[in-house]
Amino acid sequence: MSYKNMMVSPHHLAAKTGSDILKEGGNAIEAMIASAAVISVVYPHMNSMGGDNFWLISDINNKVIAIDACGGAANCATINFYKKQGFDSIPKRGSLAALTVPGAVAGWKKAYDFSVANLGGKLPLSRLLFDAEQVSKEGIAVTNTLKNNLISKHAQLIEIPGFKDVYFKNGKIPDIGDKLIFPAMSKTFSNLIKNGLDDFYFGEISRDILDDLISLGSPLQKSDFNSYKASYVKPLELRVKDAKLFNLPPPTQGIASILLLGVLNELSNIYQDDISFIHNIVEATKVVFKIRDKYICDPKYMIKNVNEFLKKEFIQNLAKKVDQNLALPWPDSSVGGDTVWLGASDKYGNTVSFIQSIYWEFGSGLILPKTGITMQNRGISFSLNQNHFNKLIPGRKPFHTIQPALAEFDDGRVLSYGTMGGEGQPQTQATIFSRYAYQKKNLQTAINNPRWLLGKTWGEETTSLKIENRYSDEVYKKLKSFGHNVEKVGSFDEMMGHAGAIVKYPSGLIEGAFDLRSDGAAIGG
């Protein structure tokens, strides 16, 4: 706890960087940019400058600002482009999977400009990117999560250009604690400091990126980068008991997260015990995922306005579909993914909820030799079926699992929270919020307590209901009797995601919490 500031990250070095910025007088946005840059280096299996990010900012003017930093599909990326090469679906890895413009750096730029224009941001870019430049040059220590992902995914990635050169030492997977150095990435950060963040899309860095992408066979071209900018968007809002919820609109699954809490708000007696709590969140998840999987895509192409789903009557009708004693069939489709969530709160009154991702572990696996950037594979969420509601169209934004969350309570508290993990994100967001808001658990307990996951998460292919073995046998047996396909997993299992949260109280007190399933930290100052 602190009365000054708080930084939360799933990697302690990123948390320290953000905390240092806050202690130097920087605001929450400046701290987040610095942390986002560092975590792109120290957690390279989960995010990169070659990915996307989304922001929610609760500022000193009592406004909630949302930033969409998601790039669209290349102008050359057409259904015919892939069909001519013999593909019925977009390849999951490699150069052809790298088909969307990375929006992450543009997101940093949009937030940086907002900070300068509206929040008195004064720290120079050279300071905000200094730690990322240094750590990529001096090297990182391989974490358990990085090693495990290299082990589990190396067969998919070993032949992807650049991957083996960066991650394998003498042909072997590095061990925990081994040092990895990223000289090309360090140079990229140096150029960003020298030339500004726009250089990623218009200047020297852009030329280096495109030279590699084009030579390796990606459909991305100069015009795609030159035309891209991050944008402000109107956040989703929903009123529940004692609070107003905020999340990102499409193309994210933010609607699933906020709608899930809306459905739970209509149900009674769901927080009385672990069995009821788990069952009802799982069943409500199934109901809202049916909406997500039928409608959510680039908002320019949606057949319904997303706000239609947030009407009281619509939510009440969804709640009626939740059977409190029976498990419904699981939806046909399922999506994976992983990411990093970070939160920051400053002494000025600003709070940030932030998320950054390359989609699957290591994204496309394509590491560009001139810049050291790992390109995301977010574009594989598109379909090559001409009749699919999320079919591939040049310029179209891909569907995103990632979305940060924010809540403003009637008593003045502001809660910033989120997690990584594909389909686990709406469920874990609902769990953390409910434990804190309704079960009155403190923030760290809300995250530490055992969790569950229905569906796919990062690194996992099965869609069973996975519950940590810290739950009692009674919980396991009762859920099974309801019809759930229950699978026990380890205590503090990483597949449950790396959650985090910050709450700022009207008194000025700031409480932060990180996930023991991660390598993170919550640092106040």
Q: What is the full DSSP assignment across 53-115? A: EEEEEE-TTS-EEEEEE---B-TT--HHHHHTTT-SS--SSSGGG--B---HHHHHHHHHHHH
Output the CA torsion 273→276→281→282 (10° steps).
Answer: 130
CATH 1.10.246.130 boundaries in the chain:
243-331+406-518
* 312-319 vs 254-266: helix crossing angle, rounded to 10: 70
| Extended beta strands in 159-293, E state | 179-180, 231-233, 236-240, 243-247
**Domain 243-331+406-518 CATH assignment equals 1.10.246.130:** yes
pLDDT (tens place) for every residue of the chain, 525 residues total: 899 999 999 999 999 999 999 999 999 999 999 999 999 999 999 999 999 999 999 998 889 999 999 999 999 999 999 999 999 999 999 999 999 999 999 999 999 999 999 999 999 999 999 999 999 999 999 999 999 999 999 999 999 999 999 999 888 999 999 999 999 999 999 999 999 999 999 999 999 999 999 999 999 999 999 999 999 999 999 999 999 999 999 999 999 999 999 999 999 888 889 999 999 999 999 999 999 999 999 999 999 999 999 999 999 999 999 998 999 987 555 555 568 999 999 999 999 999 999 999 999 999 999 999 999 999 999 999 999 999 999 999 999 999 999 999 999 999 999 998 777 899 999 999 999 999 999 999 999 999 999 876 544 556 789 999 999 999 999 999 999 999 999 988 888 889 999 999 999 999 999 999 898 999 998
Provide the 3-class DSSP secondary structure of residue 377: coil
Q: Return the closest-CA partner of residue 133 out of 184, 69, 209.
A: 184
Handedness of CA 412, 416, 417, 423 (dihedral sign): positive
Amino acid identity of residue 473, one-letter, is: D
Helices (H) and strands (E) in the chain, counts: 18, 18
Is 339 noted as a catalytic residue in this protein? Answer: yes
* Angle made by CA atoms 465, 475, 243, in degrees to the nearest 5: 75
**Distant-in-sequence, close-in-space partners of 126: CB < 8 Å, separation ≥ 6:** 193
Alpha helices per DSSP H over 400-517: 424-437, 443-448, 473-481
* 424-437 vs 254-266: helix crossing angle, rounded to 10: 40
Provide the 3-class DSSP secondary structure of residue 513: strand
**Distant-in-sequence, close-in-space partners of 438: CB < 8 Å, separation ≥ 6:** 241, 271
Secondary-structure breakdown of the chain: helix, strand, coil percentages, each rounded to the nearest 5: 40, 20, 40
Q: Is 171 left (phi over 0), alpha (psi -120 to 50) or beta?
A: left
Provide the 3-class DSSP secondary structure of residue 236: strand
**Cis amide linkage into residue 426, ω under 30° from 0:** no
Give me the pLDDT at residue 497, please. Answer: 82
Kind and range of the H or E run holding 500: strand 500-504
Give me the pLDDT at residue 492, please. Answer: 86
| Alpha carbons 435 and 440: distance in angstroms, whole number | 6
**Distant-in-sequence, close-in-space partners of 218: CB < 8 Å, separation ≥ 6:** 74, 95, 96, 98, 99, 366, 375
**Of the listed 339, 401, 428, 431, which one is catalytic?**
339
Give me the pLDDT at residue 337, please. Answer: 57
* Angle made by CA atoms 473, 476, 481, in degrees to the nearest 5: 125
| Alpha carbons 470 and 488: distance in angstroms, whole number | 9
Give me the pLDDT at residue 462, please. Answer: 64
The answer to whether the pTM exceeds 0.75 is: yes
Give me the pLDDT at residue 333, please. Answer: 54
Contact 17, 189 (CB under 8 A): no
